[in-house]
Amino acid sequence: MAHAERKFVPPAAARTTPRRAARERPPARPEPEGSPDVGAMVESIVGCKWSIHVLEQIRQGVSRPGALARSAPGLTTKVLNQRLAKLVRFGIAQRTAHPEVPPRVEYTLTEFGRRFVDVLDSVERLKQDVCDHRVPWDG
């Protein structure tokens, strides 16, 4: 009698189907049609050290791409342009191109961007409170 090959089947916990994933996900409040996913924005910005740096520089009044690139050793022009494009796409920053020779481009925070930075400031304050043991943390 020939040995039948057995196919490996991962344990149930490792098998994730779309239906199971939907059941395990906490119910989210539905976003109004056309509104941005702010949670995804925060995750995208906070997950990138350069985005945080660029936001901080724009808030401090550094608005020209060349000055932004010089503000951080290691920040390449390519990465800077990607971060700026993402901030503009999210509506956090506004790009203004001045019609002159040579061309001049400036970036400023939008009203939404100023509110967004306030959220990041709150996260930073919470981090400091946890580090200074002013807020209990069971981690």
Dump pLDDT digits (tens) for 35-56: 778 788 888 887 888 999 999 9
Split at pLDDT 50, 70, 90, the class of 131 is: confident
Hey, what amino acid is at 36?
P
Q: What was the pLDDT predicted at 123?
A: 84
With 80 as the cut, is the pLDDT of residue 28 above it? no
pTM for the structure as a whole: 0.68
Q: With contact defined as beta carbons under 8 Å apart, do 76 and 65 qualify?
A: no
CATH number for the domain spanning 74: value is 1.10.10.10
Q: With contact defined as beta carbons under 8 Å apart, do 54 and 95 qualify?
A: no
- Which residue, among 56, 70, 61, has the nearest Cα to 118 in the 3D structure? 56
Decide if 108 is inside a domain. Answer: yes
Q: Look over the chain and give the mean of its residue pLDDT values, rounded to a whole number.
A: 81
Q: Beta-carbon neighbour count of residue 43 at 10 Å?
A: 11
* Structural domain count of the chain: 1
The most distant pair of C-alpha atoms in the chain lies apart, rounded to whole Å, by 85
Structural domain range at position 110: 37-131
Decide if 79 is inside a domain. Answer: yes
Decide if 27 is inside a domain. Answer: no
Decide if 66 is inside a domain. Answer: yes
Hey, what amino acid is at 58?
I
Decide if 29 is inside a domain. Answer: no
